[in-house]
Each structure stands twice: as C-alpha cells, then as structure tokens.
Structure 1
Amino acid sequence: MVLDRLDDPDHPVYSMGQAAELLGVTPAFLRNLDATGLLRPGRSDGGHRRYSRHQLDRVVALRRLSDQGHTLVSAAEILDLRADLDGERARHAATARERDEAVRDRDTALGQRDTARRERDRARDERDAVRGADPEQT
C-alpha cells in the first residue's frame, strides 16, 4: 500500500524546505551537504530534493558533530565508522547466537549419545546376566 512508505524511514518524503524547517538549518546547508556528497537525497519526478527520516537524523548528527568542532567531512566519516561498528556488532551478536545454538545442539547430541551408550551397556549387562544364569544360551 502507498501509505506503507510513510512508515519506511528510508523513503524520501520531506522536501528541502520541510527538512530545513524541521531541522532548523538553511536550505543552503542541505544543498551544500548534497554538493559535497555527504548526503544524497532522493529526487522527485521534477528533480527536487526529497529527504528521508534517516537522512534527517544524519543531518542532525552531522550538525551536532560540526558544532563540536569537526569539519563536515570528518563528521561524516565519524558517522560512517559508527555505522560500520554497529554493523559489525550486530554481525558478531548473530554469530555468537549461532555459536551458542550450535553448542546447545552439540550438547544435546552428546547427551543422546551418552544415553544410548548407557542403554546399550545395560542391555549387554542384562544379556550377559541371562547367559551367566543359563549356560546353554551361549
């Protein structure tokens, strides 16, 4: 459904004027981010810039880092490195979950093996006991 795109944080729905007003920045600031390649807004059919919620969040983070003394280029690099780190942490967590599941599966299999061996040994002991009581069954 068309309205589902409004829930998509990556769908470009905000015009430059709306984005600038929401963020408290000038349209020139947003144009500069686009011109320097630090932010790539979508484009409408008429060629006008359209921004997603994720892009608005990035502008806020860029502005915050810029206000702390970073250049916009270094601020963008910091954000990219943070995103890479978050991705690696997520992959590590997924790998750890897979490892833990594999360990549980292995432990279950080992337990089943040990149970089967005990049952086998118990059956052998019973067979040997019967053979020992009745020597003709050997």
Structure 2
Amino acid sequence: MPPRSTRPVDKFDDDDYAAYTMGRAAEMLGTTPAFLRALGEHRLITPLRSEGGHRRYSRYQLRIAARARELVDAGTPIEAACRIIILEDQLEEAQRINEELRTRGATS
C-alpha cells in the first residue's frame, strides 16, 4: 500500500466537496428546500451549482445549516440565526489567530 501522502485525495473525504443535492440536504437536515434557499438569501451558505444550475451542498455547509436549524427551532428568527452563526465563526477565527500569535510570542 503506498504511503498516505501519495494517495489521491478522495473528494468524498473533502468537507468542502459539494456532494449533496438540495433535496438530499434538506432530507438529511429534516427541513425544506425553502429553508436552505433562505440561508443562501441571508448569505450564510452559498451552495455551488452543478452544470445544470442545481444547488449542491458540502458537508461543511450542512453542519452550518444544521446549526441554523437548531437556532430557528429554538425560536430565533432566521435572519438573527444567520447573523449569530456568522459572528460565532468570526469569533472562532479571531480566537484561533490570537492563540497562534500568543504561541509565536512565547517561543520568540
């Protein structure tokens, strides 16, 4: 068996590979295609398009949509849910950068 580093990357192992149709994504999330379209309208997720123009979602996007559904199911308006998730993501990124800078500073 060749070393793992030379094995071609399987697109289904890629969290960003848009493998799921809108119908399948909605089914997996237990929601409707309209909910997924609304997330796109609020710029929370932007699905890729197939050659035929159909929306395709990645596993990463489905995790974000699942978080939005949790908030909406708890009574949060969809606009607010999208904004909350965007802010959570920005906070996580800022914390990651801050930790990276702190680690670099400690080793200098």
Q: Same fold (TM over 0.5)?
A: yes
Mapped to 1, the partners of 2:66 and 2:49 lie a distance apart of 20
Partner of 1:6: 12
Residue number in structure 1 paired with 2:33:
27
* Superposed displacement of residue 36, structure 1: 4.0
Structure having greater relative contact order (Cα 8 Å, sep ≥ 6): 2
Residue 101 (structure 1) aligned with residue 72 (structure 2): no
Distance (whole Å) between structure 2 residues aligned to residue 80 and residue 37 of structure 1: 9
The letter for the 1-side match of 2:33 is: P
Match runs of 1:126-137 below 5 Å: none
Q: What stretches of structure 1 of length at least 5 have no aligned partner?
A: 103-138
**Within 1, Cα distance between the matches of 2:76 and 2:49?**
28
CA distance in 2 between counterparts of 1:68 and 1:27 reads 19
Q: Which moved more, 1:49-58 or 1:35-44?
A: 35-44
Counterpart of 1:30 in 2: which secondary structure? helix
Amino acid aligned to 2:49: R
User: CA 1:85–1:35 in 2, change beyond 3 Å: closer, same or farther?
Assistant: closer
Partner residue in 1 for 2:92 = 86
1:57-102 C-alpha deviation (Å, 9 max, x unpaired) = 1111111111122111111111111111111111111111111111
> Does the 8 Å contact 1:16/1:51 carry over to 2?
yes
How large is the Cα RMSD of the aligned pairs? 1.4
> What is the aligned length?
101
Correspondence 1:62-81 to 2 at 5 A: 62-81=68-87
SS at match of 1:25: coil
Aligned mates of 2:65, 2:28 — CA distance in 1: 11
Identity %: 41
